[in-house]
Structure formats: structure tokens, C-alpha cells
Structure 1
Amino acid sequence: MKHHFLGHTDIKVPEICLGTMTFGQQNTQEQAFEQLDYALERGINFWDTAELYAVPPTPQSYGSTETILGNWFAKTGKRKQVTLASKIAGPSQVGGHIRNGQTRFNKKDISRALDNSLKRLQTDYLDLYQLHWPERPTNCFSHLGYTTQMIADTPADLTPLAETLIALNDEIKAGRIRAIGLSNETPWGTMKFLQLADELGLQRVVSVQNPYGLLNRTYEIGLAEIAHFEKVGCLAYSPLGFGVLSGKYLNDQKPENARITLFPRFSRYTNAQAVWATEQYAKIAAEQGLSLVQLSLAFVRQQFFVTSTIIGATTMQQLQENIDSVDVALSDEVMQLIEAVHVQQPNPSP
């Protein structure tokens, strides 16, 4: 398995990262422990979580994923074998159960959120701490385009990005985080954080965790170029589009206990355009003697701007297939076939 540096740091991570957002909702602690043990055995020692998790977010599931990970660290004593990433939730997108809905990216809230994450995770530091989504209203979570309504909804007391960056750097100085990253961020936001870090002599962000896969390649517009020139790589989440790119939802199937079956709110990858594209990618995979999962994950992994691909699974069989995809390399011919579909139906589920 290949490894890449996180941005400009000396932190090396494998090309596959274990996503954990189902732990505490679709997966029990026992099932999560089995996944964690197996992932580490396979060399997947880069794990991503968030204070928001488990997903879907509810007051009851809040923090449960970090708690499960913390229990695993306490049981195994293997914290130092893992590169651990978590995130602070911003003031929008979820209900008021996180700090009464008043969470902002200021020093007070960052310190408080980090305090609680470290307690749940039973550790005294994080390798990567990320802003889960921008504090300002912008085009993330399946929305393309920056609108006048977003401008109107921007609060007057928005935390200045410089203040956020200084607060995060204070935590680096305190030894509580090693590096900082962004998530669901735009090219403007990414470049602004980089500009401010250079102007203020602070540590730069090292990664942007955004959706990226065959059904959503919007990262290529702006952020891929930033990744190349600024060494801020993509941590690609939803590479399988909530499982849609496993093919299990084709022909109107609704598999029992599957995520979209259980939680229809995650149906952003099931519109008519996405279904058509998924069918075409499935045909390409079959012609190449590959599963659709193998094709989809290999495509993401081969992009020059991707530092690591975040995989998530609810069963051990899914986890094994996802990890096994590292042995698949797509030829130039296959990549051209994929591109031909993309040209006909670009980004059907942004």
C-alpha cells in the first residue's frame, strides 16, 4: 500500500483511510472493534471521525463514534499506532444539540470542542483536526453555486478566518493537535486560509476533506489545482456515493439495512442522472472483470491530488472488498472509458 505525506508535514498516511461515522448507529461497539482490529492488521492506520458522529446526527448519537474509538484505544493501548483525525462541527447543517447550536470557530468553542473530543477519544492529542464545514453559508453538502441567499444568510458576527487559524495554531503550540485541515470547503476558503497562514506566520492547513468519486468530481474544479501547487491534498469521502457505486441500489433495489434504505435523507446519489451514470460505470467494470466497487475506488485512488480515500463499511465483507481495491490499477484505456461517461453526465450528484 502506498503512503503519502499530509501536506507539508512529516505525517505519512496510507492511501486508504478508515471512515467511522457508522459506529454507534449502524454498527455496534463490538462490530466497530472488529473493523478497527482488521483495518490495523491490513495497514490502514489512518482513521477519521468527528464530534458530530454517528450519522445521521441526533442528540442521542452525538459523540458516540469518538466514544467507541476511545474505548478501543483504552482496551488495546494502540493509540500511537494510529494517525487519528477528528472534526469540530460548525453552527449550521445540524440541530441545536451541539453546544446549544452556538458553536463557532472561535477560540472558546474550538477549545471546548477539542476538550470533549479528546476526553471521548481517551487521548491527549489528535494528529489532524478539521473544520467539518465552513462557518459561513456556502456551497457544500450537495449544493453547487454560490447564491444571493447565501450572502443574505451570512451573519454579521461571522468569526474572522484569521481568528480561527490563530486559535487552531494555539492548539498546535499546546501539543493537542499536530496538523489542521478543512472539510466541505471551497477553493476560495482554502486559498484564504493559506494566504492568512503565510501572512501571519502560522501553520498551513494540510488537507481538504470533501466528497469525491465517479458521481461527484467537483473537486477537480479549482481544488485539484490548489492541491498541486499548495500541497493541500484531498481526503476523499463518499467515494462510493453512500454505497450507490456498489450497484446494490440499481433496478430500484432497496437492500435491507442499507444506508439509503434506512435513511432516505442520503438519497442525493439516486437521481435519474446518477442512476444512468452508475449503470454505465457498472458496464465498464463488468467488461474489465472488476466489481463496481473496485472500479470506483481505484479511480479515486489514482488521482494525483488525492492524499487518501476514506472508506466506510457496515459489514466486514464490505470492508475487505474496499481494502482489497488497493491491488487494482486502471489502465489509460479504462480511464478514457470513464471519462466518456463523465462527459455525457458530469457530476450528476454534486
Structure 2
Amino acid sequence: MTFGEQCDLAQSHAILDRALERGINFLDSAEIYPSPMKAETCGDSERHIGAWIKRRGGRDKLVLASKVAGPGGRIAYVRGGPKLVEKHIRAAVEGSLQRLNTDYIDLYQVHWPARSSNYFGRLGYYPRDDAGATPLAETLAALEALRTEGKIRQVGLSNETPWGLMHALAVAKEQGFAPIASVQNPYSLLNRVFEIGLG
């Protein structure tokens, strides 16, 4: 999440080398990283990881995760305004594969839902009108197609609510898709909202 902003290429590679030496082989990124998100650095975190993989090899010993961005006003520079529809998801996956120097992603996650939701557990949250949000079934169908093609191995969610997780599990089961493999939500001593519904 910091590769390409707080960490340059050499620092990123040193961190990755040290992590692998210590047995850490799960690497998680996103098409929009590094943070803070800016058009000029968008995708650099994946590029740093991809350059490291190309330099050292051993892709089969790594578990790579990345994420597709959903709608958001601050990132209109991503695919002309990211949507969680098949065309956008496919473009996001292809971009991540290229930047990561790989032909598959082990875990591909929806970075946040298309519908209005309190992604980070803010107090005083008021939902916006989400009548135009992409239906979850459409998003999951696009991800299932990419999984069937072997471009992604598992589908996960990020910044999701208990309702959203249960809805995604139900839709996947109803449609015969692979079940949701993971949920990556904020969780720390300062933010324990996860425990309320998903703990």
C-alpha cells in the first residue's frame, strides 16, 4: 500500500526480500495503490511487486492478492470512473496481471462495494442514493468468469459489511459460483467495528 509513495523501488524490494526471508509469502496490493491515491502513482505498488517477482522469480512460492476499485469520485482517473461491471473488472484484472508480472492472481478482491455503505465504520455516516449501483450478481458473475478462465484463483471482499458478505455468499451459492474466500476489513485497537457483526 505504500510502495511507490513512501517506499521507492529499492526500499520496496528490500522489504519484500526481508519478508520472504522470514517466511512471509502473502502479498496484498490493489490497482489503485499506493496510498494516498493519486493519478500519477496509481498502480505503482503492483509495479514494484511485479518488478521484484521478475527479478527474483519464484512466483509459485507466493500468494498474490489484489483488488478492483469500485465507484468513487476521488478516483475518476481509474478507467474513466471505476465501475464493478464486467468490462471494468476485466480491464482491472488485465492491468494488475501486467503490472504484477504474472498470469494469475491467487486472491482477487472487490475493494469496496458498489452500493452505498459505511466502508470504514465512520460515526455519523449517512448513505447516499445507490439506485444506480451495479447489482452484486453482475459483479460476481464477472469475477466467476475470470476465475473459470484461470486469471484469478479465488474471489474475496474488502471493506464489506456483514449484510454484504451474507448477500455475496447467498448470490454465489444461488448462481453456482465459487464461494467468497475471504473478507479484508479494517480492524485494529482503534477500529473494532468488525467484531459487532462478523467477529
Larger Rg: 1
Structure 1 and Structure 2 fold alike (TM over 0.5): yes
State the 1:161 CA deviation.
Answer: 0.8
In structure 1, list runs of 5 or more residues that go unmatched: 1-20, 225-350
Task: Quote the Cα distance in structure 2 between the aligned partners of 1:167 and 1:78.
Answer: 29
Name 2:100's counterpart in structure 1. 121
Task: Quote the Cα distance in structure 2 between the aligned partners of 1:105 and 1:145.
Answer: 26
| 1:81 and 2:57 are equivalent in the alignment | no
Name 1:332's counterpart in structure 2. none
8 Å CA contact retained: 2:64, 2:107:
yes
| 1:135 and 2:110 are equivalent in the alignment | no
| 1:190 and 2:165 are equivalent in the alignment | yes
| 1:153 and 2:91 are equivalent in the alignment | no
Task: Quote the Cα distance in structure 1 between the aligned partners of 2:125 and 2:6.
Answer: 34
| 1:220 and 2:195 are equivalent in the alignment | yes
Structure 1 runs (4+) greater than 4 angstroms displaced: none
Paired AA for residue 164 in structure 2: G
| 1:42 and 2:22 are equivalent in the alignment | yes
Task: Report the count of equivalent residues.
Answer: 199
What secondary structure is seen at the aligned counterpart in 2 of 1:94?
Answer: helix
State the 1:53 CA deviation.
Answer: 0.4
Paired AA for residue 121 in structure 1: L
**RMSD between superposed Cα atoms in Å:** 1.3
Evaluate the alpha carbon distance shift between residue 145 and residue 165 of structure 1 in structure 2; reply closer, same or farther with a 3 A threshold: farther
| 1:179 and 2:158 are equivalent in the alignment | no
Task: Quote the Cα distance in structure 2 between the aligned partners of 1:118 and 1:57.
Answer: 20
Among 54, 76, 80, the residue aligned to 1:96: 76
State the 1:189 CA deviation.
Answer: 0.6
8 Å CA contact retained: 2:121, 2:193:
no
State the 1:96 CA deviation.
Answer: 1.2
Name 2:141's counterpart in structure 1. 166
Name 1:63's counterpart in structure 2. 43
TM-score, length of structure 2 as denominator length: 0.96
Evaluate the alpha carbon distance shift between residue 167 and residue 134 of structure 1 in structure 2; reply closer, same or farther with a 3 A threshold: same
Alignment of 1:243-262 (within 5 A): none
Paired AA for residue 115 in structure 1: E
Name 1:106's counterpart in structure 2. 85
Which structure has more helix as a fraction of its residues?
1
Task: Quote the Cα distance in structure 2 between the aligned partners of 1:50 and 1:93.
Answer: 17
8 Å CA contact retained: 2:147, 2:154:
yes
In structure 2, list runs of 5 or more residues that go unmatched: none
8 Å CA contact retained: 2:4, 2:48:
yes
8 Å CA contact retained: 1:194, 1:205:
yes
